[in-house]
């Protein structure tokens, strides 16, 4: 509603304009609802889809280590499956990039200890297989994307285990 007083020809005139904004308010509510759904989709893609992709990839790598290197057909199947996992990861990254572009992903205060524990759970088979000993001090709360922090921890630990040579991994 607009209310405006003006002087016209020495007198006072009050101009009143009323606009029905019901439709605009409904569109705003719908936009908020849609943005909420997109944010949930981005979070699902970020966390709920990445974990299984990482787990399947880790198991495929472990299977590859256990089979006969001369078994070309099985190695080829594993390579195809791993490439599929890489493709799935790229698709997830694309969804996340789009979500970031639209400002749908937020950073959070993340307890790095919880992120590290999630990483240990994701890599449990690899850790057990390598008989790795992993310890840590208490970690801080940080402001970040929780999935990215788990990914950093996972990359660091997997590389430390994989590239420790013949020694038992102590991390």
Residue that wins the pLDDT comparison between 115 and 32 = 115
pLDDT at 3 > cutoff 60: no
Higher pLDDT, 140 or 98: 140
Rounded to whole angstroms, how far apart are CA atoms 44 and 66? Answer: 33
**What is residue 167's predicted lDDT score, i.e. its pLDDT?**
87
Average pLDDT over residues 116-142: 91
* pLDDT of 83: 94
Cβ–Cβ under 8 Å, residues 85 and 52: no
Is it the case that residue 138 has pLDDT exceeding 90? yes
**pLDDT greater than 80 at residue 117:** yes
Q: How confident is the model at residue 166 (pLDDT cuts 50, 70, 90)?
A: confident
Least confident of 76-80, 144-148, 161-165: 144-148
Q: How far apart are CA 126 and CA 55, in angstroms?
A: 10
What DSSP assignment string belongs to 107-148? -EEEEHHHHHHHHHHHTHHHHHHHT-B---PPPPEEEE-HHH
Query: What was the pLDDT predicted at 139?
Result: 93
Cα separation, 55 vs 52, in Å, equals: 5
Name, in order, each residue with C-beta under 8 angstroms of 2's C-beta and a sequence gap of 6 or more.
15, 16, 17, 18, 19
- pTM: predicted TM-score of the whole model, two decimal places: 0.47
Contact 104, 42 (CB under 8 A): yes
pLDDT score of 87: 92
Q: What is the pLDDT of residue 144?
A: 81
CA distance 42 to 148: 13
| Digit-coded pLDDT (tens) for 54-112 | 889 989 999 999 999 899 999 999 999 999 999 998 888 887 777 666 665 556 678 89
Give pLDDT tens digits for 5-33: 555 666 665 555 566 677 777 877 887 77
């Amino acid at each position: 509603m607009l209310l405006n007083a003006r002087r016209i020809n020495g007198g006072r005139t009050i101009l009143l304009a009323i606009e029905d904004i019901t439709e605009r308010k409904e569109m705003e509510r719908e936009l908020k609802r849609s943005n909420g759904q997109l944010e949930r989709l981005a979070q699902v893609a970020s966390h709920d889809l990445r974990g299984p992709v990482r787990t399947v990839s880790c198991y495929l790598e472990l299977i590859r280590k256990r089979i006969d290197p001369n078994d070309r057909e099985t190695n080829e199947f594993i390579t195809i499956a791993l490439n599929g996992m890489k493709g799935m990861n790229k698709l997830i990254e694309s969804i996340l990039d789009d979500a970031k572009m639209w400002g749908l992903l937020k950073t959070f205060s993340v307890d790095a200890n919880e992120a590290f524990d999630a990483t240990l759970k994701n890599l449990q088979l690899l850790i057990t297989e390598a008989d790795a000993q992993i310890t840590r001090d208490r970690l801080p709360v940080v402001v970040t994307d929780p999935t990215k922090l788990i990914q950093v921890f996972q990359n660091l630990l997997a590389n430390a285990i994989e590239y420790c040579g013949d020694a038992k991994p102590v991390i």
